[in-house]
Structure 1
Protein backbone atom coordinates (compact mmCIF):
# COMPACT_ATOMS: atom_id res chain seq x y z
CA UNK A 1 0.00 0.00 0.00
CA UNK A 2 1.18 3.49 -0.88
CA UNK A 3 0.55 5.88 2.03
CA UNK A 4 -1.43 8.72 0.42
CA UNK A 5 -3.26 11.50 2.24
CA UNK A 6 -5.69 13.87 0.55
CA UNK A 7 -6.48 17.33 1.87
CA UNK A 8 -10.10 18.00 2.83
CA UNK A 9 -10.52 20.21 -0.24
CA UNK A 10 -9.10 17.61 -2.64
CA UNK A 11 -11.13 14.81 -1.03
CA UNK A 12 -14.30 16.82 -1.58
CA UNK A 13 -13.31 17.54 -5.20
CA UNK A 14 -12.74 13.82 -5.84
CA UNK A 15 -16.16 13.01 -4.39
CA UNK A 16 -17.91 15.75 -6.36
CA UNK A 17 -16.09 15.32 -9.66
CA UNK A 18 -14.63 18.82 -9.48
CA UNK A 19 -11.59 19.35 -11.75
CA UNK A 20 -8.25 19.25 -9.92
CA UNK A 21 -4.88 20.80 -10.83
CA UNK A 22 -1.68 19.40 -9.33
CA UNK A 23 1.01 21.82 -8.14
CA UNK A 24 4.63 21.07 -7.28
CA UNK A 25 6.27 21.79 -3.93
CA UNK A 26 9.93 22.42 -4.85
CA UNK A 27 8.96 25.99 -5.74
CA UNK A 28 8.09 26.33 -2.02
CA UNK A 29 11.18 24.68 -0.57
CA UNK A 30 13.85 25.40 -3.18
CA UNK A 31 12.49 28.22 -5.35
CA UNK A 32 11.83 31.19 -3.07
CA UNK A 33 12.64 32.44 0.44
CA UNK A 34 10.13 32.39 3.31
CA UNK A 35 7.57 33.98 3.60
CA UNK A 36 7.36 34.82 -0.11
CA UNK A 37 7.30 31.14 -0.98
CA UNK A 38 4.18 30.47 1.10
CA UNK A 39 2.49 33.67 -0.04
CA UNK A 40 3.12 32.74 -3.67
CA UNK A 41 1.89 29.18 -3.15
CA UNK A 42 -1.36 30.52 -1.72
CA UNK A 43 -1.78 32.94 -4.62
CA UNK A 44 -1.25 30.14 -7.14
CA UNK A 45 -3.72 27.89 -5.34
CA UNK A 46 -6.29 30.71 -5.36
CA UNK A 47 -5.71 31.27 -9.09
CA UNK A 48 -6.72 27.64 -9.65
CA UNK A 49 -9.85 28.08 -7.53
CA UNK A 50 -10.78 31.31 -9.29
CA UNK A 51 -10.81 29.35 -12.56
CA UNK A 52 -13.21 26.65 -11.34
CA UNK A 53 -10.78 23.93 -10.28
CA UNK A 54 -9.26 22.73 -7.01
CA UNK A 55 -5.51 22.96 -6.30
CA UNK A 56 -3.58 19.93 -5.09
CA UNK A 57 -0.06 20.83 -3.97
CA UNK A 58 1.91 17.57 -3.78
CA UNK A 59 4.66 16.75 -1.27
CA UNK A 60 5.99 13.90 0.83
CA UNK A 61 5.71 14.55 4.57
CA UNK A 62 6.93 12.02 7.12
CA UNK A 63 6.67 9.16 4.67
CA UNK A 64 3.21 10.01 3.34
CA UNK A 65 2.44 11.29 -0.15
CA UNK A 66 0.24 14.31 0.37
CA UNK A 67 -2.11 15.30 -2.45
CA UNK A 68 -3.20 18.75 -1.39
CA UNK A 69 -1.81 20.49 1.68
CA UNK A 70 -3.75 21.99 4.55
CA UNK A 71 -2.78 25.57 5.34
CA UNK A 72 -0.68 24.66 8.38
CA UNK A 73 1.17 22.00 6.36
CA UNK A 74 1.93 24.52 3.64
CA UNK A 75 3.29 26.99 6.20
CA UNK A 76 5.42 24.34 7.89
CA UNK A 77 6.85 23.13 4.58
CA UNK A 78 7.69 26.71 3.62
CA UNK A 79 9.79 27.10 6.79
CA UNK A 80 11.34 23.63 6.86
CA UNK A 81 15.08 23.19 6.35
CA UNK A 82 17.03 20.46 4.56
CA UNK A 83 13.96 19.23 2.70
CA UNK A 84 14.84 16.62 0.07
CA UNK A 85 14.28 17.47 -3.59
CA UNK A 86 12.46 14.45 -4.98
CA UNK A 87 12.38 13.08 -8.49
CA UNK A 88 11.54 9.64 -9.94
CA UNK A 89 14.78 8.12 -8.61
CA UNK A 90 14.20 8.88 -4.94
CA UNK A 91 10.50 9.50 -4.24
CA UNK A 92 9.78 5.86 -3.37
CA UNK A 93 12.81 5.65 -1.08
CA UNK A 94 11.76 8.85 0.70
CA UNK A 95 8.27 7.48 1.32
CA UNK A 96 9.57 4.06 2.38
CA UNK A 97 11.96 5.52 4.96
CA UNK A 98 9.50 8.04 6.42
CA UNK A 99 11.23 11.06 4.95
CA UNK A 100 10.05 14.51 3.92
CA UNK A 101 10.63 15.88 0.46
CA UNK A 102 9.37 18.40 -2.05
CA UNK A 103 8.38 17.16 -5.48
CA UNK A 104 10.03 18.25 -8.72
CA UNK A 105 8.15 18.19 -12.03
CA UNK A 106 8.82 14.45 -12.47
CA UNK A 107 7.80 13.50 -8.93
CA UNK A 108 4.72 15.72 -9.04
CA UNK A 109 3.64 14.01 -12.27
CA UNK A 110 3.99 10.63 -10.54
CA UNK A 111 1.96 11.82 -7.55
CA UNK A 112 -0.69 13.36 -9.78
CA UNK A 113 -1.05 10.16 -11.81
CA UNK A 114 -1.38 8.05 -8.65
CA UNK A 115 -4.19 10.37 -7.53
CA UNK A 116 -5.93 10.36 -10.91
CA UNK A 117 -5.13 14.02 -11.65
CA UNK A 118 -4.68 14.83 -15.35
CA UNK A 119 -3.29 18.38 -15.29
CA UNK A 120 -0.31 19.92 -13.51
CA UNK A 121 0.83 23.55 -13.44
CA UNK A 122 4.44 24.50 -12.79
CA UNK A 123 6.89 27.30 -13.60
CA UNK A 124 9.30 25.71 -16.07
CA UNK A 125 10.42 22.16 -16.69
CA UNK A 126 13.95 20.87 -16.30
CA UNK A 127 15.84 19.70 -19.35
CA UNK A 128 19.25 19.40 -20.95
CA UNK A 129 21.80 21.54 -19.14
CA UNK A 130 24.41 23.46 -21.08
CA UNK A 131 27.51 21.27 -21.42
CA UNK A 132 25.46 18.09 -21.08
CA UNK A 133 27.55 16.47 -23.82
CA UNK A 134 30.26 16.25 -21.14
CA UNK A 135 28.32 16.23 -17.86
CA UNK A 136 25.31 14.18 -19.05
CA UNK A 137 23.21 16.48 -16.83
CA UNK A 138 19.71 15.92 -18.20
CA UNK A 139 16.62 16.34 -16.04
CA UNK A 140 14.39 13.35 -15.35
CA UNK A 141 11.47 15.64 -16.20
CA UNK A 142 11.94 14.87 -19.90
CA UNK A 143 11.73 11.11 -19.49
CA UNK A 144 8.75 11.51 -17.15
CA UNK A 145 6.83 13.43 -19.78
CA UNK A 146 7.23 10.41 -22.07
CA UNK A 147 6.03 7.97 -19.41
CA UNK A 148 3.27 9.56 -17.33
CA UNK A 149 -0.07 10.67 -18.76
CA UNK A 150 -0.29 14.15 -17.25
CA UNK A 151 -0.62 17.39 -19.19
CA UNK A 152 1.99 19.79 -17.81
CA UNK A 153 1.50 23.54 -18.20
CA UNK A 154 4.78 25.49 -17.97
CA UNK A 155 6.39 28.61 -19.40
CA UNK A 156 8.58 26.29 -21.46
CA UNK A 157 11.87 24.85 -20.26
CA UNK A 158 13.90 26.96 -17.83
CA UNK A 159 15.97 29.55 -19.68
CA UNK A 160 19.18 28.41 -17.96
CA UNK A 161 19.07 25.22 -20.07
CA UNK A 162 20.16 24.32 -23.56
CA UNK A 163 16.74 24.89 -25.10
CA UNK A 164 17.58 23.45 -28.51
CA UNK A 165 18.76 20.16 -27.05
CA UNK A 166 15.90 20.03 -24.54
CA UNK A 167 13.26 20.20 -27.25
CA UNK A 168 15.19 17.79 -29.46
CA UNK A 169 15.11 15.23 -26.64
CA UNK A 170 11.38 15.78 -26.13
CA UNK A 171 10.82 15.17 -29.84
CA UNK A 172 12.86 11.97 -29.70
CA UNK A 173 10.84 10.80 -26.70
CA UNK A 174 7.58 11.44 -28.55
CA UNK A 175 6.33 14.15 -26.18
CA UNK A 176 3.85 16.61 -27.74
CA UNK A 177 5.11 20.18 -27.20
CA UNK A 178 2.21 22.59 -27.61
CA UNK A 179 2.60 26.36 -27.43
CA UNK A 180 -0.48 28.23 -26.33
CA UNK A 181 -1.46 31.08 -28.62
CA UNK A 182 1.77 31.72 -30.57
CA UNK A 183 4.05 30.18 -33.19
CA UNK A 184 7.34 30.33 -31.26
CA UNK A 185 8.31 28.65 -28.02
CA UNK A 186 8.51 30.82 -24.90
CA UNK A 187 11.74 30.90 -22.92
CA UNK A 188 10.56 30.93 -19.29
CA UNK A 189 11.17 34.54 -18.15
CA UNK A 190 10.89 35.68 -21.79
CA UNK A 191 7.66 35.39 -23.76
CA UNK A 192 9.39 34.41 -27.00
CA UNK A 193 12.47 32.65 -28.31
CA UNK A 194 13.95 32.00 -31.75
CA UNK A 195 12.59 28.43 -31.72
CA UNK A 196 9.48 27.57 -33.71
CA UNK A 197 6.88 25.59 -31.81
CA UNK A 198 6.17 22.02 -32.95
CA UNK A 199 2.44 22.47 -32.25
CA UNK A 200 0.23 25.49 -31.64
CA UNK A 201 -3.17 25.47 -29.97
CA UNK A 202 -5.25 28.52 -29.15
CA UNK A 203 -7.85 27.14 -26.73
CA UNK A 204 -7.91 25.10 -23.55
CA UNK A 205 -10.58 22.95 -25.21
CA UNK A 206 -8.23 21.87 -28.01
CA UNK A 207 -5.49 21.00 -25.52
CA UNK A 208 -8.00 18.95 -23.51
CA UNK A 209 -9.16 17.13 -26.65
CA UNK A 210 -5.56 16.21 -27.47
CA UNK A 211 -5.03 14.89 -23.91
CA UNK A 212 -8.14 12.72 -24.12
CA UNK A 213 -7.27 11.51 -27.62
CA UNK A 214 -3.81 10.35 -26.51
CA UNK A 215 -5.44 8.30 -23.76
CA UNK A 216 -7.96 6.87 -26.19
CA UNK A 217 -5.18 5.83 -28.56
CA UNK A 218 -3.23 4.15 -25.77
CA UNK A 219 -0.22 6.45 -26.18
CA UNK A 220 2.03 6.62 -23.15
CA UNK A 221 3.16 9.87 -21.60
CA UNK A 222 1.76 13.34 -21.27
CA UNK A 223 1.83 16.68 -23.02
CA UNK A 224 3.95 19.76 -22.44
CA UNK A 225 1.94 22.95 -22.84
CA UNK A 226 4.22 25.98 -23.18
CA UNK A 227 2.33 29.03 -21.94
CA UNK A 228 4.14 32.35 -22.57
CA UNK A 229 4.61 34.71 -19.64
CA UNK A 230 2.44 37.84 -20.04
CA UNK A 231 4.30 40.41 -22.17
CA UNK A 232 4.17 43.11 -19.52
CA UNK A 233 5.87 40.83 -16.96
CA UNK A 234 8.61 39.30 -19.12
CA UNK A 235 12.35 39.96 -19.10
CA UNK A 236 13.58 40.18 -22.72
CA UNK A 237 15.91 37.35 -23.73
CA UNK A 238 18.67 39.73 -24.81
CA UNK A 239 18.69 41.27 -21.32
CA UNK A 240 18.90 37.85 -19.68
CA UNK A 241 21.57 36.30 -21.89
CA UNK A 242 24.65 37.88 -20.22
CA UNK A 243 23.16 37.31 -16.76
CA UNK A 244 22.63 33.61 -17.44
CA UNK A 245 26.13 33.34 -18.91
CA UNK A 246 27.66 34.86 -15.77
CA UNK A 247 25.68 32.57 -13.46
CA UNK A 248 26.70 29.51 -15.48
CA UNK A 249 30.35 30.56 -15.39
CA UNK A 250 30.21 30.97 -11.60
CA UNK A 251 28.57 27.56 -11.17
CA UNK A 252 31.33 25.93 -13.20
CA UNK A 253 34.05 27.75 -11.28
CA UNK A 254 32.56 26.56 -7.98
CA UNK A 255 32.14 22.95 -9.22
CA UNK A 256 28.41 23.00 -8.54
CA UNK A 257 26.70 19.97 -10.04
CA UNK A 258 23.70 17.62 -10.02
CA UNK A 259 20.62 18.77 -8.08
CA UNK A 260 22.43 21.84 -6.73
CA UNK A 261 22.84 23.42 -10.18
CA UNK A 262 19.34 24.76 -10.79
CA UNK A 263 18.80 26.31 -7.31
CA UNK A 264 22.24 27.97 -7.53
CA UNK A 265 21.62 29.40 -10.99
CA UNK A 266 18.15 30.68 -10.13
CA UNK A 267 19.51 32.26 -6.95
CA UNK A 268 22.35 34.04 -8.76
CA UNK A 269 20.04 35.24 -11.52
CA UNK A 270 17.72 36.64 -8.84
CA UNK A 271 20.67 38.57 -7.39
CA UNK A 272 22.02 39.73 -10.73
CA UNK A 273 18.60 40.96 -11.93
CA UNK A 274 17.96 42.65 -8.57
CA UNK A 275 14.87 40.56 -7.98
CA UNK A 276 13.26 40.99 -11.40
CA UNK A 277 13.56 37.28 -12.17
CA UNK A 278 11.53 36.39 -9.07
CA UNK A 279 8.77 38.85 -9.97
CA UNK A 280 8.63 37.32 -13.44
CA UNK A 281 8.70 33.80 -11.99
CA UNK A 282 5.67 34.50 -9.80
CA UNK A 283 3.79 36.01 -12.73
CA UNK A 284 4.43 33.05 -15.02
CA UNK A 285 3.52 30.43 -12.40
CA UNK A 286 0.21 32.18 -11.72
CA UNK A 287 -0.44 32.48 -15.45
CA UNK A 288 0.20 28.75 -15.86
CA UNK A 289 -2.12 27.88 -12.97
CA UNK A 290 -4.98 29.77 -14.62
CA UNK A 291 -4.53 28.00 -17.96
CA UNK A 292 -4.12 24.61 -16.27
CA UNK A 293 -7.43 25.12 -14.46
CA UNK A 294 -9.16 25.91 -17.76
CA UNK A 295 -7.70 22.73 -19.32
CA UNK A 296 -8.75 20.63 -16.32
CA UNK A 297 -12.31 21.95 -16.62
CA UNK A 298 -12.36 21.03 -20.32
CA UNK A 299 -10.98 17.54 -19.67
CA UNK A 300 -13.66 17.00 -17.02
CA UNK A 301 -16.34 17.75 -19.63
CA UNK A 302 -15.01 14.88 -21.71
Structure 2
Protein backbone atom coordinates (compact mmCIF):
# COMPACT_ATOMS: atom_id res chain seq x y z
CA UNK A 1 0.00 0.00 0.00
CA UNK A 2 1.41 3.40 -0.97
CA UNK A 3 1.62 6.37 1.38
CA UNK A 4 -1.30 8.81 1.15
CA UNK A 5 0.00 12.06 -0.39
CA UNK A 6 -1.27 14.25 2.48
CA UNK A 7 0.92 12.40 4.99
CA UNK A 8 4.49 13.36 5.84
CA UNK A 9 6.65 10.47 7.06
CA UNK A 10 10.10 10.82 8.55
CA UNK A 11 12.93 9.56 6.35
CA UNK A 12 13.30 6.61 8.72
CA UNK A 13 9.66 5.57 8.32
CA UNK A 14 9.57 6.22 4.55
CA UNK A 15 12.64 4.06 4.00
CA UNK A 16 11.35 1.24 6.19
CA UNK A 17 8.01 1.11 4.40
CA UNK A 18 9.60 1.33 0.95
CA UNK A 19 11.91 -1.58 1.77
CA UNK A 20 9.17 -3.71 3.32
CA UNK A 21 10.67 -3.55 6.81
CA UNK A 22 8.35 -3.64 9.85
CA UNK A 23 6.94 -0.41 11.25
CA UNK A 24 4.93 0.03 14.46
CA UNK A 25 2.47 2.92 14.87
CA UNK A 26 2.33 4.77 18.20
CA UNK A 27 -0.18 7.40 19.30
CA UNK A 28 0.52 10.93 20.52
CA UNK A 29 -2.44 11.68 22.80
CA UNK A 30 -0.68 9.69 25.48
CA UNK A 31 2.15 12.24 25.27
CA UNK A 32 0.09 15.43 25.45
CA UNK A 33 -2.94 14.28 27.44
CA UNK A 34 -2.03 11.00 29.13
CA UNK A 35 0.99 11.88 31.29
CA UNK A 36 2.56 14.96 32.87
CA UNK A 37 5.74 16.57 31.56
CA UNK A 38 8.57 15.47 31.57
CA UNK A 39 7.41 11.86 32.22
CA UNK A 40 5.49 11.91 28.93
CA UNK A 41 8.48 12.81 26.76
CA UNK A 42 10.83 10.47 28.57
CA UNK A 43 8.35 7.61 28.17
CA UNK A 44 7.82 8.38 24.46
CA UNK A 45 11.57 8.26 23.87
CA UNK A 46 11.96 5.04 25.85
CA UNK A 47 9.09 3.42 23.97
CA UNK A 48 10.66 4.31 20.61
CA UNK A 49 13.96 2.86 21.84
CA UNK A 50 12.25 -0.41 22.81
CA UNK A 51 10.71 -0.64 19.35
CA UNK A 52 14.01 0.05 17.55
CA UNK A 53 15.87 -2.46 19.72
CA UNK A 54 13.25 -4.98 18.65
CA UNK A 55 14.26 -4.50 15.02
CA UNK A 56 11.24 -2.37 14.12
CA UNK A 57 10.85 1.27 13.08
CA UNK A 58 8.62 3.34 15.42
CA UNK A 59 6.13 5.75 13.85
CA UNK A 60 4.64 8.07 16.45
CA UNK A 61 1.71 9.78 14.73
CA UNK A 62 0.43 13.35 15.21
CA UNK A 63 -0.69 16.43 13.29
CA UNK A 64 1.81 19.29 13.49
CA UNK A 65 1.24 22.66 11.81
CA UNK A 66 -1.66 21.10 9.95
CA UNK A 67 0.38 18.22 8.52
CA UNK A 68 -0.34 14.58 9.44
CA UNK A 69 3.05 13.27 10.53
CA UNK A 70 3.97 9.59 10.38
CA UNK A 71 6.92 9.42 12.73
CA UNK A 72 8.20 12.30 14.85
CA UNK A 73 11.62 13.78 15.47
CA UNK A 74 12.88 14.26 19.01
CA UNK A 75 12.04 17.98 18.96
CA UNK A 76 8.47 17.10 17.97
CA UNK A 77 8.10 14.82 21.00
CA UNK A 78 9.36 17.64 23.20
CA UNK A 79 6.90 20.09 21.63
CA UNK A 80 3.92 17.81 22.30
CA UNK A 81 5.06 16.99 25.80
CA UNK A 82 5.57 20.60 26.89
CA UNK A 83 2.40 21.88 25.22
CA UNK A 84 0.36 19.20 26.97
CA UNK A 85 -3.39 19.63 26.98
CA UNK A 86 -3.21 22.88 25.03
CA UNK A 87 -2.73 20.61 21.99
CA UNK A 88 -6.01 19.53 20.41
CA UNK A 89 -7.00 15.98 21.32
CA UNK A 90 -7.73 14.82 17.80
CA UNK A 91 -10.01 11.91 17.03
CA UNK A 92 -10.99 11.12 13.44
CA UNK A 93 -13.71 13.79 13.39
CA UNK A 94 -11.11 16.41 14.40
CA UNK A 95 -8.48 15.61 11.77
CA UNK A 96 -9.88 17.78 8.98
CA UNK A 97 -10.45 20.87 11.21
CA UNK A 98 -6.96 20.63 12.70
CA UNK A 99 -5.34 20.15 9.29
CA UNK A 100 -7.37 22.97 7.71
CA UNK A 101 -6.49 25.39 10.51
CA UNK A 102 -2.79 24.53 10.41
CA UNK A 103 -2.86 23.53 14.06
CA UNK A 104 -1.37 20.82 16.23
CA UNK A 105 -3.31 17.64 17.01
CA UNK A 106 -2.38 14.76 19.30
CA UNK A 107 -4.02 11.70 17.76
CA UNK A 108 -6.26 9.38 19.75
CA UNK A 109 -6.41 5.63 19.17
CA UNK A 110 -9.06 6.13 16.47
CA UNK A 111 -7.17 8.86 14.60
CA UNK A 112 -3.87 7.04 14.92
CA UNK A 113 -5.47 3.91 13.43
CA UNK A 114 -6.87 5.85 10.50
CA UNK A 115 -3.61 7.62 9.69
CA UNK A 116 -1.59 4.43 10.19
CA UNK A 117 -3.84 2.64 7.70
CA UNK A 118 -3.43 5.48 5.19
CA UNK A 119 0.32 5.13 5.60
CA UNK A 120 0.27 1.37 5.07
CA UNK A 121 1.10 0.48 8.68
CA UNK A 122 -0.85 -2.47 10.04
CA UNK A 123 0.22 -2.77 13.69
CA UNK A 124 -0.30 -0.18 16.42
CA UNK A 125 0.60 -0.25 20.13
CA UNK A 126 -1.11 2.01 22.65
CA UNK A 127 -1.86 2.11 26.37
CA UNK A 128 -5.58 1.49 26.75
CA UNK A 129 -8.54 1.54 24.40
CA UNK A 130 -11.48 3.87 24.71
CA UNK A 131 -14.90 2.27 24.99
CA UNK A 132 -18.33 2.62 26.52
CA UNK A 133 -18.32 5.10 29.39
CA UNK A 134 -20.13 4.41 32.61
CA UNK A 135 -23.59 5.91 32.40
CA UNK A 136 -23.57 5.72 28.59
CA UNK A 137 -27.21 4.61 28.63
CA UNK A 138 -28.10 8.24 29.25
CA UNK A 139 -25.00 10.13 28.09
CA UNK A 140 -24.44 8.13 24.85
CA UNK A 141 -20.71 8.56 25.55
CA UNK A 142 -19.05 5.82 23.50
CA UNK A 143 -15.51 6.22 22.22
CA UNK A 144 -14.87 6.53 18.49
CA UNK A 145 -12.07 4.01 19.07
CA UNK A 146 -14.66 1.24 18.81
CA UNK A 147 -16.15 2.55 15.57
CA UNK A 148 -12.68 2.84 14.05
CA UNK A 149 -11.74 -0.67 15.13
CA UNK A 150 -14.84 -1.93 13.35
CA UNK A 151 -13.79 -0.50 9.97
CA UNK A 152 -10.02 -0.04 9.86
CA UNK A 153 -7.80 -3.12 9.39
CA UNK A 154 -5.10 -2.37 11.95
CA UNK A 155 -4.08 -4.71 14.78
CA UNK A 156 -4.21 -2.70 18.02
CA UNK A 157 -2.30 -3.84 21.10
CA UNK A 158 -3.51 -2.43 24.41
CA UNK A 159 -3.74 -3.34 28.08
CA UNK A 160 -7.51 -3.61 27.62
CA UNK A 161 -9.92 -0.72 27.84
CA UNK A 162 -9.25 1.94 30.41
CA UNK A 163 -10.61 0.82 33.78
CA UNK A 164 -12.55 4.08 34.17
CA UNK A 165 -14.95 2.70 31.53
CA UNK A 166 -17.74 0.13 31.58
CA UNK A 167 -15.75 -2.93 30.55
CA UNK A 168 -18.70 -5.29 30.21
CA UNK A 169 -20.63 -2.98 27.89
CA UNK A 170 -17.47 -2.26 25.91
CA UNK A 171 -16.96 -5.97 25.25
CA UNK A 172 -20.61 -6.29 24.23
CA UNK A 173 -20.20 -3.36 21.84
CA UNK A 174 -17.09 -4.90 20.30
CA UNK A 175 -18.98 -8.15 19.72
CA UNK A 176 -21.80 -6.24 18.00
CA UNK A 177 -19.26 -4.43 15.83
CA UNK A 178 -17.57 -7.74 14.84
CA UNK A 179 -14.22 -6.74 16.35
CA UNK A 180 -12.08 -9.77 17.21
CA UNK A 181 -10.87 -9.53 20.81
CA UNK A 182 -7.80 -11.61 21.58
CA UNK A 183 -6.17 -12.12 24.97
CA UNK A 184 -2.41 -12.53 24.74
CA UNK A 185 -1.40 -15.23 27.21
CA UNK A 186 -4.53 -14.59 29.25
CA UNK A 187 -8.05 -15.99 29.58
CA UNK A 188 -9.31 -12.83 31.28
CA UNK A 189 -9.70 -9.43 29.68
CA UNK A 190 -7.29 -7.01 31.41
CA UNK A 191 -8.48 -3.70 32.81
CA UNK A 192 -5.56 -1.37 32.12
CA UNK A 193 -3.99 -0.96 35.59
CA UNK A 194 -5.01 -4.51 36.55
CA UNK A 195 -4.52 -7.90 34.93
CA UNK A 196 -8.08 -8.92 35.76
CA UNK A 197 -11.55 -7.53 35.12
CA UNK A 198 -13.92 -10.42 35.76
CA UNK A 199 -14.63 -10.76 32.02
CA UNK A 200 -13.33 -13.57 29.81
CA UNK A 201 -11.70 -12.97 26.44
CA UNK A 202 -13.38 -14.68 23.47
CA UNK A 203 -10.02 -15.94 22.15
CA UNK A 204 -6.69 -16.68 23.81
CA UNK A 205 -3.38 -16.77 21.88
CA UNK A 206 -0.11 -17.67 23.57
CA UNK A 207 2.59 -16.96 20.96
CA UNK A 208 3.48 -14.06 18.71
CA UNK A 209 3.63 -16.42 15.74
CA UNK A 210 0.00 -17.41 16.30
CA UNK A 211 -0.98 -13.77 16.75
CA UNK A 212 0.56 -13.03 13.36
CA UNK A 213 -1.36 -15.92 11.80
CA UNK A 214 -4.63 -14.64 13.26
CA UNK A 215 -4.06 -11.07 12.06
CA UNK A 216 -3.05 -12.33 8.63
CA UNK A 217 -6.16 -14.55 8.40
CA UNK A 218 -8.35 -11.54 9.20
CA UNK A 219 -6.72 -9.57 6.38
CA UNK A 220 -6.78 -12.45 3.89
CA UNK A 221 -10.53 -12.76 4.36
CA UNK A 222 -10.95 -9.12 3.41
CA UNK A 223 -12.60 -8.28 6.73
CA UNK A 224 -12.16 -4.56 7.23
CA UNK A 225 -12.31 -4.61 11.04
CA UNK A 226 -9.13 -4.35 13.04
CA UNK A 227 -8.07 -6.80 15.74
CA UNK A 228 -8.04 -5.83 19.42
CA UNK A 229 -5.16 -7.61 21.17
CA UNK A 230 -5.39 -7.36 24.97
CA UNK A 231 -1.98 -7.61 26.61
CA UNK A 232 -2.09 -7.56 30.43
CA UNK A 233 0.15 -5.21 32.40
CA UNK A 234 3.17 -7.09 33.82
CA UNK A 235 2.27 -8.75 37.13
CA UNK A 236 4.81 -6.79 39.15
CA UNK A 237 3.49 -3.44 37.96
CA UNK A 238 -0.27 -3.85 38.29
CA UNK A 239 -2.58 -2.12 40.74
CA UNK A 240 -4.99 -4.86 41.91
CA UNK A 241 -8.57 -4.44 40.78
CA UNK A 242 -9.96 -4.30 44.33
CA UNK A 243 -7.69 -1.34 45.11
CA UNK A 244 -8.17 0.69 41.95
CA UNK A 245 -11.97 0.28 41.87
CA UNK A 246 -12.63 2.60 44.83
CA UNK A 247 -10.14 5.16 43.55
CA UNK A 248 -11.88 5.27 40.18
CA UNK A 249 -15.26 5.71 41.87
CA UNK A 250 -13.88 8.71 43.76
CA UNK A 251 -12.43 10.19 40.56
CA UNK A 252 -15.77 9.74 38.77
CA UNK A 253 -17.61 11.49 41.60
CA UNK A 254 -15.12 14.37 41.45
CA UNK A 255 -15.66 14.64 37.70
CA UNK A 256 -19.43 14.84 38.12
CA UNK A 257 -19.09 17.60 40.71
CA UNK A 258 -16.96 19.62 38.29
CA UNK A 259 -19.33 19.00 35.38
CA UNK A 260 -16.64 17.61 33.11
CA UNK A 261 -17.99 15.81 30.04
CA UNK A 262 -17.05 14.62 26.54
CA UNK A 263 -13.46 14.28 25.42
CA UNK A 264 -12.20 16.03 28.58
CA UNK A 265 -13.33 13.13 30.77
CA UNK A 266 -10.48 10.71 30.15
CA UNK A 267 -7.60 13.20 30.69
CA UNK A 268 -9.28 14.44 33.89
CA UNK A 269 -9.92 10.96 35.25
CA UNK A 270 -6.43 9.69 34.48
CA UNK A 271 -4.89 12.75 36.12
CA UNK A 272 -7.13 12.46 39.18
CA UNK A 273 -6.30 8.77 39.55
CA UNK A 274 -2.60 9.68 39.52
CA UNK A 275 -3.25 12.08 42.40
CA UNK A 276 -5.34 9.61 44.38
CA UNK A 277 -2.79 6.80 43.98
CA UNK A 278 0.16 8.99 44.90
CA UNK A 279 1.70 8.45 41.48
CA UNK A 280 1.36 4.65 41.45
CA UNK A 281 -1.04 4.74 38.50
CA UNK A 282 1.48 6.75 36.45
CA UNK A 283 4.15 4.13 37.15
CA UNK A 284 1.70 1.42 36.09
CA UNK A 285 0.73 3.36 32.96
CA UNK A 286 4.35 3.69 31.87
CA UNK A 287 4.99 -0.01 32.49
CA UNK A 288 2.02 -1.18 30.43
CA UNK A 289 2.81 1.17 27.54
CA UNK A 290 6.34 -0.22 27.34
CA UNK A 291 5.03 -3.78 27.58
CA UNK A 292 2.61 -3.14 24.72
CA UNK A 293 5.33 -1.55 22.61
CA UNK A 294 7.47 -4.65 23.02
CA UNK A 295 4.64 -6.95 21.94
CA UNK A 296 3.78 -4.58 19.09
CA UNK A 297 7.36 -4.70 17.82
CA UNK A 298 7.39 -8.49 18.05
CA UNK A 299 4.11 -8.75 16.14
CA UNK A 300 5.18 -6.29 13.43
CA UNK A 301 8.37 -8.29 12.96
CA UNK A 302 6.47 -11.59 12.77
CA UNK A 303 3.99 -10.24 10.23
CA UNK A 304 6.81 -8.85 8.08
CA UNK A 305 8.49 -12.25 8.13
CA UNK A 306 5.28 -13.95 6.98
CA UNK A 307 4.84 -11.46 4.15
CA UNK A 308 8.49 -11.81 3.07
CA UNK A 309 8.11 -15.57 2.74
CA UNK A 310 5.16 -15.22 0.35
The TM tier, using the shorter chain, reads: over 0.9
Query: In structure 1, what is the Cα distance between the partners aligned to 2:124 and 2:50?
Result: 13
Q: Secondary structure at 2:93's aligned position in 1?
A: coil
Deviation at 1:157, TM superposition (A): 0.2
Q: Does 1:162 align with 2:159?
A: no
Counterpart check, 1:119 vs 2:123: yes
Structure-2 residue corresponding to 1:228: 232
Which residues in structure 2 correspond to 1:1-302 (within 5 Å)?
Answer: 2-80=5-83, 82-302=86-306
Partners of 1:13 and 1:255 in 2: CA distance: 46
In the alignment, is the contact (CA less than 8 A) between 1:3 and 1:63 conserved in 2?
no
Equivalent pairs counted in the alignment come to 302
Query: Any stretches of 5+ residues in structure 2 without a counterpart?
Result: none
Moved beyond 2 Å, runs of 4+ = none
Give the aligned CA root-mean-square deviation in angstroms.
Answer: 1.0
1:215, distance to aligned residue in structure 2 (A): 1.4
Unmatched segments (≥5 aa) in structure 1: none
Shift of 1:208: 1.2
**How much does 1:32 deviate?**
1.1
TM-score (norm 1): 0.98
| Rounded Cα–Cα distance in structure 2 between residues aligned with 1:297 and 1:248 | 40
Q: Take 1:179 and 1:236, find their aligned partners in 2: how far apart are those partners?
A: 18
